[in-house]
Amino acid sequence: MRRVLEQAGLAALRQVDPETAHGLALKALNLGFGPQGGPVTSSRLAVTVAGLKLPNPVGLAAGFDKNAVAIVAASRAGFGFLEVGAATPRPQEGNPKPRLFRLTEDQAAINRFGFNNEGMEVMGERLAGRPAGVVLGLNLGANKDSADRAADFASVLRHCGAHLDFATVNVSSPNTEKLRDLQGKAALASLLSGVMEANESLARPVAVFLKIAPDLVLDELADIAEVATAAGLAGIIATNTTLDRQGLKSVTKSEKGGLSGQPLFEKSTRVLAQMAGMTRLPLIGVGGIGSAQQAYAKIRAGASAFQLYTALVYGGLSLVGDLARGLDALLARDGFANVRDAVGTGRGDWL
């Protein structure tokens, strides 16, 4: 019955504009209209990534819960870990609306939100009330009009870090002008130095990840791998949304912003596999995951865990448990005792 109601709810949400639908989905989640059983786990699924003990490798990607308003409800939906945000030092409205577009024919979305959020002060208060037993991270962002964007990332971590298990440096969003310039070798090294200094100032330093774009070439990936390792990061998240529009069918395909969903799967997985050959840091795979088979492909390409967002728009939150159970079955089929044993075993397929 819950799945029938979920499908009816998804159909209703598709009748309103996407950003309104997203807000309504968060409200429905908080009212209990979602899975309630907690994380699906098993001896095959439980895994430790960058020191984080996960009941399963299925994570919620940043952007779904930008302002940390649904942490408790999301923690019951089956995820092994959650990432909220992005948060910036000061509140900001983001880009003008409309800024979120469904690409139903492509099972995709385009967004140009521009780090709309309520700021680190509000975020910190909400994070302080986080439920126990949930592996929780925050996506760090920079204000659009900041005089020192690199310093913004450290400021957010310094303010919110006491309530986190991990933090993600997001320099790969395409929706803040020139933000991706911070992925350059020198700029990135300087930025990460400040973030890691802030992290060391915390009473309990957290795992720090870097989220990268899928639109990078091999030399750029190699530079990022070198800088991330030298900085002492815990891992890399591959990838954010893409500016590529190749092969799209939907009428909204030409909207500006970052593309996510099914069309991103191959591109993001290829970047993931390439990065896996350049660093020993743990990797988290993101981009186009909508089935257990695709989740398994991310693992075999080099990811130790993975995250979802856009697929939930089309499949609902019941997809979370389905992916965990499906992945467990695939690991058992292929004789893997644990997900970590499968990491990177199919990387050659993507090179």
Determine how β-strand 58-60 pairs with β-strand 305-308.
Answer: parallel
Determine how β-strand 166-170 pairs with β-strand 136-140.
Answer: parallel
Q: Is the residue at 349 inside a domain?
A: no
List of E strands, 88-216:
100-103, 108-111, 136-140, 166-170, 207-212
Q: Is the residue at 290 inside a domain?
A: yes
Distance CA 198, CA 139 (A): 15
**What is residue 103's predicted lDDT score, i.e. its pLDDT?**
98
Q: Is the residue at 96 inside a domain?
A: yes
**59: phi > 0 → left, psi -120 to 50 → alpha, else beta; which?**
beta
* Residue with the two structure tokens 């257990």: 292
C-alpha closest to that of 83 among 67, 61, 66, 110: 61
To the nearest whole percent, how much of the chain has pLDDT over 70? Answer: 99
Average pLDDT, the chain: 95
Q: pLDDT digit string (tens) for 42-65?
A: 999 999 999 999 999 999 999 999
Least confident of 3-7, 20-24, 259-263, 273-277: 3-7
The yes-or-no verdict on residue 242 having pLDDT over 90 is yes
Instruction: Assess contact for 154 and 120: CB atoms under 8 A.
Output: no
**What is residue 254's predicted lDDT score, i.e. its pLDDT?**
96
Q: Is the residue at 295 inside a domain?
A: yes
**Which residues constitute the domain of residue 88?**
2-344
Q: Is the residue at 351 inside a domain?
A: no
Q: Is the residue at 181 inside a domain?
A: yes
**What is residue 1's predicted lDDT score, i.e. its pLDDT?**
66
Q: Is the residue at 179 inside a domain?
A: yes
**What is residue 261's predicted lDDT score, i.e. its pLDDT?**
98
Distance CA 162, CA 176 (A): 27
Catalytic residues: 173
**What is residue 5's predicted lDDT score, i.e. its pLDDT?**
81
The yes-or-no verdict on residue 347 having pLDDT over 70 is yes
pTM here? 0.97
The yes-or-no verdict on residue 229 having pLDDT over 70 is yes
Q: Is the residue at 350 inside a domain?
A: no
The yes-or-no verdict on residue 178 having pLDDT over 90 is no
Q: Which one is predicted more confidently, 187 or 303?
A: 303
Indicate the number of domains in the chain. Answer: 1
Least confident of 59-73, 166-180, 227-241: 166-180
CATH number, domain with residue 331: 3.20.20.70
Instruction: Assess contact for 267 and 287: CB atoms under 8 A.
Output: yes
